[in-house]
Amino acid sequence: MSVLGCVVYKHNLWLVVVALLICGAGSWVTARLVLRAFSTHALQRIGWSFIAAVVAAADIWCTHFVAMLGFEPGVPVAFDPVLTIASLLIALAGSFAGFVIATSPVTQRLTRVAPALGGAIVGLAVALMHYAGMLAYRVEGIVIWHRGWIAISLVLAVAISALALHLAGAAAARAQDNAASMRASTNAPARRVAVVLALAIAALHFSGMTAFQVEPLAIGGHFSNPAALQALALAVACMAFVIAGAGCVSFLLDDSVRAESVEHLRTMAMSDMLTGLPNRASFNARIDAELARTQDTRKLALIGIDLNRFKEINDLHGHHAGDEVLRILARRLASLVREGEFVARVGGDEFVALMRFNTRDELGDLLSRLQDALYRPVRYDDAEVLSGASLGVAIYPDDATNKTVLINNADLAMYRAKSDLSHSVCFYEPAMDEVARARRSLTHDLREALARGQLSVHYQMQTSVATGEVCGYEALLRWEHPRLGFISPARFIPLAEENGLILGIGAWVLREACSRAVAWSPPVKVAVNLSPVQFAHADLPKLVETVLVETGLAPERLELELTESAIFADRARSLDVLQRIKTMGVKLALDDFGTGYSSLDTLRSFPFDKIKLDQSFVSESESSREATAIIRAVLALGKSLGIPVLAEGIETKEQLSLLADEGCDEVQGFLLGRPAPLSQIVASGQLSLQTDDEQAIQMGQG
């Protein structure tokens, strides 16, 4: 009698339902795992292929076995253990081989039908498993096989399985082309692949069973124990669900790990690695989102923040100290942010803040909190560092109608705050655009002037009060702009310092002055000013040594002038630099004495050869008793320390007479001579220039 007839008339229906559930659940999990294998690479792909093969083999074998246990042929049945186990191994090996071939990029490069080819191998494994299992199914009767149904079952298994993996491969290719995540792209394709794969298993099973008929030999004999077979079927079904569940859990765990990894990468991409604050990308996303909220009637404030003395901290204490200061300030900023407010680090020492507000008082509260956080001293390695910051505020839509203009205007306001030491916070004003454009244009022109040789050096004499003889000349930088004419050093020197141009300009002035002075007769000193920025950022001793060697100027003829503010920030480093310069034989002058940080300790601790009395005291000496008293005090201090004093800004004979009476050593000012080009000084007869031979003789004698 036909086993198909048993399915209709003598079959345990609940086992049929269980078999179908196994088939559906296992196919769905297998489909998800196969799609995951398509989306991974190298060993991961093989690993997912193996897990998919384990679940598929359990699905195929358990579906077949439970369905077989549900048959009631009316004769005793048994299972050959070797063939039963072999059928499971066939399903496992064939599925693994098929999935590897289907998902491998090597086979996909060889043929575009690689997924279908792998599917066909899986289908063939399903068929071989089925018939090996049927051979293991022993009944007391005559087994009759119908070859036509066997062929049909093989064709159905191979073709439908090939279609299933072809659909999986096409879905994976679309996901890669769309740069979409596999998790997002496998929901609908997984259902289609699962349905087709389940259809392949079911079609093989039922068409294969149609090819199988049994003629019983035992009539009225003993029968198999139905309860025992059902218990076995239940145990097999439980194991099938456990294996499918394990595959599902592995998939879900991988999804969870991937989600965590994606979130971690997103956090890394949107966060500053040093401080943990949101970074520039996060800021751009936030400001775009804020500007897109057209329904929000509140105004949007963008606050640009730039630390004032961060470069100084790096130079004096090292970059590790600078990093620690940034981390500490970042923690302060993060702790002050309230709901609706946003703070990010967008550059080295640059931060930004965003907030929506209804009243200026709300904005003022945030600005107050920011200032408090940024101006509080930072303790680092038992030292106290004070950075401070400049804040520039631009408001949308009052000051700008789009993101680019808003950011630019906040920057303009910030730079205004940076240049105006009396205000740490500046709000954008339309006039700032013109000022900023002019500064940018002038900075560009200054850079071009250095490159094109448009800068020049003028010289102002320094005269001995006692003898009236010229004892030296101070080199003064001048810039004749091709369109704007003479540009005051008070205007372009700060620009050069802000933009780093002062390093190149300062080196050029030093080299130019030394190369000209080497030919002077008589061989008087040349004095060159050093910018605080140049003193802090350049390897000054090496530069001075190089220039002296290149130009051939005797070291004792060079005098470097610097203000106390240049050495105040890091006294230990400054002392080391100045001592290295002194070792070469170069003279050092303390410029603008009497202003700023002037102190007796500076003169006592540092190896200065001259004090330059600031011209402000000289100009007020005829009208201010206090100024006269300061002049006398400085001159007396110089005599007691054995350091000559040079007074600047001498414009009247009365001023010169006062200084002579008080015992001043040297003077400099318009009364004695205005700054002039070297050619004009030579033409006046104050200096003459030696020939190359005379210079060589002088250098040889030196």
d(CA 627, CA 614): 11
Q: Which pLDDT does position 610 carry in this prediction?
A: 92
d(CA 565, CA 590): 10
The mean pLDDT of 389-407, rounded to a whole number, is 91
d(CA 644, CA 628): 18
Q: Which pLDDT does position 533 carry in this prediction?
A: 82
Burial class of 638 by CB neighbour count within 10 A (0 to 12, 13 to 18, 19+): buried
Note the pLDDT tens digit of each residue in 107-152. 888 888 899 999 999 999 989 988 888 888 777 667 778 888 889 9
| Whole-number percent of the chain with pLDDT over 70 | 84
Phi-psi region of 553 (alpha: psi -120 to 50; beta: other; left: phi over 0): beta
- Classified as helix, coil or strand, 481 is strand
The mean pLDDT of 264-289, rounded to a whole number, is 84
d(CA 427, CA 417): 9
Note the pLDDT tens digit of each residue in 623-677. 888 888 888 988 998 898 889 999 999 999 999 999 999 899 999 999 999 999 9
HEC-encoded secondary structure of 158-197 = HHHHHHHHHHHHHHHHHHHHCCCCHHHHCHHHHHHHHHHH
Note the pLDDT tens digit of each residue in 587-602. 999 888 866 555 666 7
Q: Which pLDDT does position 209 carry in this prediction?
A: 78
Question: In 197-236, where do the E strands start and end?
Answer: 212-216
Q: Which domains does the chain have, with CATH numbers?
A: 3-264 (no CATH), 280-439 (3.30.70.270), 453-701 (3.20.20.450)
CA 450 to chain CA centroid, Å, is 34
Whether 168 and 193 have beta carbons less than 8 Å apart is answered as yes
Residue 548 is encoded by which pair of tokens? Answer: 């002296």
- Helix H or strand E encompassing 353: strand 350-357
Pairing of strands 610-613, 645-647: parallel
- From 612, 616, 610, select the one nearest 651 (Cα to Cα): 616
Residue 538 is encoded by which pair of tokens? Answer: 């350049």
- From 98, 85, 90, select the one nearest 128 (Cα to Cα): 90
Q: Which pLDDT does position 216 carry in this prediction?
A: 65
Strand partners, 79: 137
Q: Cα dihedral sign for 464, 467, 468, 470?
A: negative
User: How many CB atoms are located within 10 Å of the residue 295 CB?
Assistant: 5
Phi-psi region of 65 (alpha: psi -120 to 50; beta: other; left: phi over 0): alpha
HEC-encoded secondary structure of 410-449 = HHHHHHHHHHCCCCCEEECCCHHHHHHHHHHHHHHHHHHH
Inter-CA distances, 205 with 2, 161, 275, Å: 15, 13, 63
Calculate helix-pair angle for 226-270, 42-69, nearest 10 degrees: 160
Q: Which pLDDT does position 208 carry in this prediction?
A: 80
d(CA 181, CA 680): 77
Token pair 């620690």: residue: 324
- From 261, 206, 188, select the one nearest 269 (Cα to Cα): 261
Residue 477 is encoded by which pair of tokens? Answer: 């930088």
Whether 50 and 96 have beta carbons less than 8 Å apart is answered as yes
- Distance linking the first and last C-alpha atoms of the chain: 127
Q: Which pLDDT does position 597 carry in this prediction?
A: 52
Residue 298 is encoded by which pair of tokens? Answer: 């509140």
Q: Which pLDDT does position 242 carry in this prediction?
A: 77
Side-chain half-sphere exposure of 100, counting CA atoms within 13 A = 13
Q: Is the pLDDT of residue 266 over 60?
A: yes
- From 420, 415, 417, 421, select the one nearest 436 (Cα to Cα): 415
Instruction: Give me the torsion for CA of 263, 268, 271, 275, rounded to 10°.
Output: 130
Note the pLDDT tens digit of each residue in 151-184. 998 999 899 989 988 888 888 887 766 644 444 4
The mean pLDDT of 294-306, rounded to a whole number, is 90
- From 621, 567, 622, 569, select the one nearest 589 (Cα to Cα): 567
Note the pLDDT tens digit of each residue in 201-260. 888 877 887 777 767 665 554 445 566 566 666 677 677 777 777 777 776 767 666 666
| Whole-number percent of the chain with pLDDT over 90 | 31
Burial class of 190 by CB neighbour count within 10 A (0 to 12, 13 to 18, 19+): buried
d(CA 474, CA 513): 9
Note the pLDDT tens digit of each residue in 30-88. 888 888 888 888 788 888 888 888 888 888 888 888 877 766 655 666 778 888 888 88
Residue 635 is encoded by which pair of tokens? Answer: 């001159």
Confidence of residue 697 (pLDDT cuts 50, 70, 90): very low
Q: What angle do CA 448, 451, 453 make, to 5 degrees?
A: 100
Burial class of 451 by CB neighbour count within 10 A (0 to 12, 13 to 18, 19+): exposed
Q: Which pLDDT does position 221 carry in this prediction?
A: 46
Strand partners, 528: 475, 560
- Helix H or strand E encompassing 405: helix 403-419
Phi, psi of 288 (to 5 degrees): -65, -45
CA 88 to chain CA centroid, Å, is 53
- Classified as helix, coil or strand, 318 is coil
Residues found in the chain:
702
- Classified as helix, coil or strand, 337 is coil
Q: Which pLDDT does position 179 carry in this prediction?
A: 46
The mean pLDDT of 480-492, rounded to a whole number, is 88
Q: What angle do CA 379, 380, 386 make, to 5 degrees?
A: 50
Whether 517 and 484 have beta carbons less than 8 Å apart is answered as no
- From 52, 41, 57, select the one nearest 104 (Cα to Cα): 41
d(CA 69, CA 231): 10
Burial class of 690 by CB neighbour count within 10 A (0 to 12, 13 to 18, 19+): middle
